[in-house]
Chain A
Amino acid sequence: MIDFINAIVLLLNYIFIPAITYGSQLALGALGITFIYGILRFANFSHGEFMSFGTMSCIMVTWFFQSNNINLGYFPTALLALPFAILSTIALSLLFNKFVFNYYRIQRSAPVVIAMASIGVMFVINAIIRIVIGPNDIKFFDGQKFIIKAKHFKNLTGLNEGLALKSTQVLTVFITVLLLIFVFWFLQKTKTGKSMRAFSDNEDLALLSGINPSKVVFITWLIVGTLACVAGTLYGLDKGYKPFTYLGLVLPIFAAAIVGGIGNPIGAVVGGYTIAFSEIMITYAYKKFFKYLLPESLEPTGMIQLLSTDYKFAVSFTILTIVLLVRPSGIFKGRTL
Chain B
Amino acid sequence: MIKSNRLEILSILIMSLLLLFVGFLQSWSLSFSILNMCIISAIMSMGINMQWGYAGIFNVGIMGFTALGGLAAVLVSHAPITEAWSAGGLGIMISFLILVLISLIVYWINRKLKTNKKKYWVITLVIIIGLIIVKLIYHPSVLAIEAVNPTLTGFLGGMGLPIIFSWIVGGFFAAAVAFAIGKITLGLRSDYLAIATLGISEIIIAVLKSEEWLSRGVKNVVGLKRPVPYEIDLQQTEWFILAVQYLNQSYLLDIIDKLEYEKVLNQLVINSSIIFVKICYAILFSIVLLIILYLANKAQISPWGRMMRAIRDNETSANAMGKDVVKRHLQIFVIGSGVVGIAGAMLITLDSLFTPVSFQPLRYTFLIWIMVIVGGSGNNLGAILGGFIIWFTWIEAAPAAQFVINILTSGLEDTNSFKIHLLNSIPYFRYLFMGTILLLIMRYRPKGIIPEKIRYS
Binding site for B on A (CB under 8 A): 42-43, 100, 103, 111-113, 115-117, 119-128, 130-131, 134-135, 247-248, 250-251, 254-255, 258, 302, 308, 310-314, 316-317, 320-321, 324-326, 328
Q: Is B324 an interface residue (CB 8 A)?
A: no
Instruction: Convert B422-452 into 0s and 1s, putting 1 for each residue whose CB lies closer than 8 angstroms to a CB of A.
Output: 1011001111101110110011001000000
**Interface stretch of the complex, out of B36-44, B184-192, B260-268:** B184-192
Distance between B428 CB and nearest chain A CB, rounded to angstroms: 4
User: Nearest B residue to A317 by beta-carbon distance?
Assistant: B199
- For the complex, is B362 an interface residue (Cβ under 8 Å from A)? yes
9 contacts between A and B (CB under 8 A): A111-B191, A120-B435, A121-B439, A127-B432, A128-B432, A130-B425, A134-B424, A317-B199, A324-B185
Is A134's CB under 8 angstroms from B191's CB? no
The interface residues of chain B lying within 8 Å CB-to-CB of A325 are 184
Chain B residue nearest in CB terms to A37: B191
Contact residues in A for B384 (Cβ distance below 8 Å): none
**Which A residues are in CB contact (< 8 Å) with B442?**
113, 116-117, 120
- What residues of B have a CB within 8 angstroms of the CB of A117 in the complex? 438-439, 442
Q: Which residues of A contact B139 (CB under 8 A)?
A: 302
* Residues in B whose Cβ lies below 8 Å from that of A115: 58, 191, 194
The binding surface of chain A is classed by DSSP as helix
How far, in angstroms, from A186 to B2 measured CA to CA in the complex? 58
CA distance A101 to B125 in the complex (A): 46
The interface size of chain B toward A, counting residues with CB under 8 Å, comes to 43
Contact B432 A123 (CB under 8 A): yes
The reply to whether A254 and B428 form a contact with Cβ atoms under 8 Å apart is no
Contact between chains at A134 and B425 (CB < 8 Å)? yes
Contact between chains at B443 and A103 (CB < 8 Å): yes
Give B172-214 interface residues, CB cut-off 8 Å to A.
184-185, 188, 190-192, 194-196, 198-200, 202-203, 206, 209-210
Q: B366 on the interface (CB 8 Å rule)?
A: yes
Known contacts A124-B431, A128-B432; is-contact A324 B369 (Cβ 8 Å): no
Asked if residues B435 and A112 are in contact (CB atoms below 8 Å), the reply is: no
B192 touches A324 (CB 8 A): yes
Q: A311-B206, A313-B203, A313-B206 are in contact. List 19 more A-B contacts (CB 8 A).
A: A43-B195, A112-B190, A116-B369, A117-B442, A119-B369, A119-B438, A120-B435, A131-B422, A135-B428, A254-B195, A258-B192, A310-B209, A310-B210, A311-B210, A314-B203, A314-B206, A317-B199, A321-B185, A328-B188
Cβ of B80 within 8 Å of any chain A Cβ, yes or no, is: no
Assess the A130–B203 pair: CB atoms within 8 A: no
The smallest beta-carbon distance between A326 and chain B, in angstroms, is 6
B120 on the A face (CB < 8 A): yes
Residues of B within 8 A of A121 (CB): 435, 439
Tell me whether B361 is interfacial, beta carbon within 8 Å: yes
